Amino acid sequence: MSLTLRTISREQHLAYIQSLPSASHCQVPAWADVKSEWRSENLGWFDDRTGQLVGVGLVLYRQLPKVKRYLAYLPEGPVINWYAPNLDEWLQPMLAHLKKQGAFSVKMGPPVVIRRWDAPAIKSGIQNPDVKRLRDVEATTIEPRAFEVSDKLRRMGWQQGEDGGAGFGDVQPRYVFQVPLANRALEDVLKNFNQLWRRNIKKAEKAGVEVVQGGYQDLAEWQRLYEITAIRDKFRPRPLGYFQQMWQTLNTEDPNRMRLYFARHNGVNLSAATMLVVGGHVWYSYGASDNIGREVRPSNAMQWRMLRDAYALGASVYDLRGISDSLDETDHLFGLIQFKVGTGGEAVEYVGEWDFPLNKLLHKALDIYMSRR
């Protein structure tokens, strides 16, 4: 198949995404408005024989300080046929185009899964004192075609980016945790939760915890809980304006793209979360909780409600987003995988983010600049 790449309209881009079973929320056109400090462009790949649109990419451009050169970033994209035998014929025109646009370096995150570990495999890894990382545990399933993708990228001159860890900040996570929902009964999903999760869901129910959906007007309350969480977990919170913009832009594109949930007890909101929906893929995106009321288990109740809602929407996967690959109980990120593994889902490893330096000198300068921040 011979291909032509050109800039497309947001409408064309969105229509293509809507024709797919799912795509990353970082590749919908409205994501450009969420990341408004970046310049953006919508790219389309066309099949020369039919003239049909066969792939899309949302590119975000970040300008280097003081020079008119850009880092071009395709988070969790582009949305193309990654297993195509002629992968270079998809990516070479993209590199040529981005270079023309003033890019000195390109970063992308192929949405290609390489390995999966089910909950029992992760648990056995946690119990084994010699195992410190997820990658030291034998994977439950391996996708051989993903290794081919990595090999092809290396041969083309792409470099594997630094490990994104748990995916905080602007880098997308390499390891995520997902609960598969396709072709499963909801009872079966609940049965797969571990005993502690099931007990906590019951406990919350008994205590009268209610989980409700919020709207735009409730984002200030979300922010209150999120800032409490930021202090407790020692990270820098995003401002309220970021979530307001996210809500307005994503829900203008699709009224069901972003949701907000609160778990409350005796009228007091104890935890909150944002949820994103693109086709059959549903993400738990941001979470927040107060320091009080933990004994009534609001977070477990809220996750169970969000998972049920995802199921009702016909989702094939409920994605709990980033985890670190550390299975070391002394690691500060270990609690994250421990909490998520209780849902009986699976840890998923993507091929990670890849860089192509179009100008090696500027690419190196950016690396040094980023490492000092």
Q: What is the pLDDT of residues 45-58, one digit of tens each?
A: 999 999 999 999 99
User: What φ, ψ does residue 154 adopt, rounded to 5°?
Assistant: -60, -45
pLDDT in tens, 86-115: 999 999 999 999 999 999 999 999 999 999
By the 10 Å C-beta count (0-12 exposed, 13-18 middle, 19+ buried), 43 is classed as: buried
CA distances (Å), origin 177, targets 67, 115, 223, 235, 295: 39, 12, 25, 21, 25
Contact 257, 30 (CB under 8 A): yes
Mean pLDDT of 52-80: 94
Short-list 283, 341, 352, CA closest to 316: 283
Q: Which helix (H) or strand (E) holds 111?
A: none
Measured CA to CA, the distance from residue 239 to residue 237 in angstroms comes to 6
Across residues 282-288, what is the average pLDDT? 97
Q: Which residues pair with 260 in a beta bridge?
A: 214, 274
pLDDT mean across residues, the chain = 94
The pLDDT assigned to 164 comes to: 44
CA gyration radius for the chain? 21
Is pLDDT at 168 greater than 80 in this prediction?
Answer: no
Average of per-residue pLDDT across 108-123:
97
- In this model, does residue 67 exceed pLDDT 90? no
* Proportion of the chain above pLDDT 90, given as a percent: 88
